[in-house]
Chains A and B, each alone.
Chain A
Amino acid sequence: MNDALSLNDALWVLLLGSLLGLELIGKVPPTLHTPLMSGANAISGITVLAALTLIIKAGSSGNGALMALGAVSLGFALFNVIGGFLVTDRMLAMFSRKPARQKEKR
């Protein structure tokens, strides 16, 4: 990035991000352990950003091999992201459908 990230800033971001993550999840009903794990897993595919950055930078220096490496990395990350979100949605759809149907019956 052209506005270079200083180490100091980066460490603060790391610290605050970690604290936020620790606070976000408190009590989780066992029902949601599986979907939550799967959803958090999809988010960890955020490395798409790193893969994109790598490809774009390799592109501006004309490094084909590096671009290819970045594309493979991007593929892996997107497999994680898209697959992860969709599969989580598939699981959660089953939960949310149920109470609605019960209401209809009554």
Chain B
Amino acid sequence: MTAAVVIKYAIELVAVLLLALGIKGLSKVRSARAANQIAAVALALAVLGVLINFLSTSGIDASAWLWIIGGTVVGGLLGAITSQRVPMTAMPETVALFNGCGGMSSLLVALGVALDPLAGSDGEGTGALVAGISIVVSVFVGAITFSGSVVAMGKLQGWLDTPAWMQSKLRHVINIGLAAFSLVAAIALIASGGDQGLWLLVIGSSLLGIGVTLSIGGADMPVVISLLNSYSGVAAAAAGFVVGSQMLIVAGAMVGAAGLILTQVMCNAMNRSLVNVLFGGALGASASAADQGEYQGITSCSAEECALTLETAQRVVFVPGYGLAVAQAQHILREVAELLEAQGIDVAYAIHPVAGRMPGHMNVLLAEADVPYEQLIEMETINPEFPRTDVVIVLGANDVVNPQARNDSTSPLYGMPVLNVEEATTVFVVKRGLSAGYAGIKNSLFERPNTSMVFGDAKKVLSGLAQELRELGVGKAKVG
């Protein structure tokens, strides 16, 4: 063993260790940020290890350096710019986009090696069959990750809708057909090694990624993205087999497995099974006619009435939902909360695990608006407190406060843990209209006698509310 080989192994070992520490640390609030940086260092070390390994053995051709630098500059710059410019509200689709690109990368590497086997591992230890299988897995999973992520992003951005035929049982036939097609192409590729099988596999698996993702509703998209994230780890591990890199295999396997656990954790938070998410189709499709009927006995009121009620309250709980984020009303919400606090009113924010557009998204959005971390209260903690809460203000949330999830066993939402806001004395629901939420069903909360709708864009309503409160002299003593 030469010194360079020893150094390479040492670097790789340290990198794997740091990577494990990074993933572990990311699951604790206190260590998360440092852990993310540790993982970044680990990746940098892994790259260094590859470069040292080649520099000490075959050397790196000048033209190769040129392409490396080119790819690095373009990809890195675009990544850096994207990461700084995307709004926090667009986080789910951003993660989907990044993830899809990771899958694409694995796909391209496998393509390259398949087209020119010399570029792969030397094939002494890993025979032709294994080489073929790893190329197939890398292409298949990579393509599904890419096309699936792009569809997920399109759906989250509102560019794509679920076509009607995708809601029918037909989609299972189509998807099974595509899977069978991909399998045949894969066998052809392994058996003959021809390019034809390769291209057919690329096409088949890309279409399969689209077919599987397109039928899944927007509310379940975060779970899908998390699952696709796990896939991209698998694709990376497969690419590790393709080019013969231990580091890649171990890191890919780690992300693949950790991603699977995270997906499971997210499913639990939404009280859905992974199978149901993947094959159940969009929630709205199964909603019965009764769920979509007209609303009756709706009370609505103005910001002024809302302010008058708030003035006399002792404990107020805000329930922020995605509508709040869309209206960019986080900052004005904090202002209203501060006015109330200055008046001595107890203020809290009830955070449903899937508030926003994916688990934890609302915490990020409110943190961005400088809402004190301690005021964000999770569902299990705040639910018993609603009966002694005077006013609840629901801001652009819908399904997560639907009492039918507890009361109505025929509702598609039945069983999902929800915030029991209707137990509070008064509930105000700020919403632009009576349209349905992600789940596409009616919300019986709106018809309750103690519920008043305040129609309007969350930002406008809250600005109005802040103004009314100031006119009433609320919070004048300390805030001004």
Contact = CB atoms under 8 A, between A and B. Distances in A.
Given A43-B22, A80-B105, A94-B364, A75 B262 contact: no
Interface string A34-48: 111111111111111
Contacts of B71: 51, 55, 70-75, 78
A71 B247 contact: no
Interface string A81-102: 1111111111111111111001
Nearest to B356: A34
B384 to A, nearest CB: 18
A35 B313 CA distance: 36
Interface string B345-365: 000000101100011110110
B358 A33 contact: yes
Given A17-B254, A49-B47, A86 B79 contact: yes
A5 B121 contact: yes
Contact of B23 (A24, A38, A52): A24
Nearest to A61: B118
Interface stretch (B95-103, B191-199, B467-475): B95-103
B29 interface: yes
Interface in A12-38: 13-22, 24-38
Interface stretch (B55-63, B169-177, B297-305): B55-63
A9 B130 CA distance: 13
B126 A55 contact: no
Contact of B122 (A1, A62, A72, A86): A1
Contact of B360 (A8, A35, A57, A72): A35
B249 A14 contact: yes
A81 B98 CA distance: 8
B443 interface: no
A51 B101 CA distance: 13
Interface residues of B, number: 130
B33 A79 contact: no
A17 B353 CA distance: 30
A4 B126 CA distance: 8
A43 B23 contact: yes
Contacts of B122: 1-2, 4
Nearest to B368: A94
A55 B98 contact: no
Nearest to A16: B250
Given A47-B102, A54-B112, A71 B70 contact: yes
Contact of A26 (B27, B46, B126): B27
B79 A80 contact: yes
B225 to A, nearest CB: 7
Interface stretch (B234-242, B388-396, B424-432): B234-242
Contacts of B76: 78-79, 82
Contacts of B367: 94-95, 97-98
A46 B245 CA distance: 11
B95 to A, nearest CB: 5
Interface string B68-111: 10111011101110111010100110110011011011101101
A21 B105 contact: no
Nearest to A74: B71
B50 to A, nearest CB: 5
B112 A43 contact: no
Nearest to B355: A30
B256 interface: yes
Nearest to B33: A92
Contacts of B88: 90-91
A60 B119 CA distance: 9
A76 B51 CA distance: 19
22 contacts: A5-B121, A6-B126, A10-B126, A34-B363, A37-B358, A40-B233, A40-B259, A43-B43, A44-B99, A48-B43, A48-B105, A51-B105, A52-B47, A53-B54, A59-B60, A73-B71, A86-B80, A87-B91, A87-B94, A88-B36, A90-B88, A95-B33
Interface of B: 5, 19-20, 22-24, 26-29, 32-33, 35-37, 39-40, 43, 46-47, 50-51, 53-54, 57-61, 63-65, 67-68, 70-72, 74-76, 78-80, 82-84, 86, 88, 91-92, 94-95, 98-99, 101-102, 104-106, 108-109, 111-113, 115-116, 118-127, 130, 222, 225-226, 229, 232-233, 235-237, 239-262, 265-266, 269, 351, 353-354, 358-361, 363-364, 367-368, 370, 372-374, 376, 378
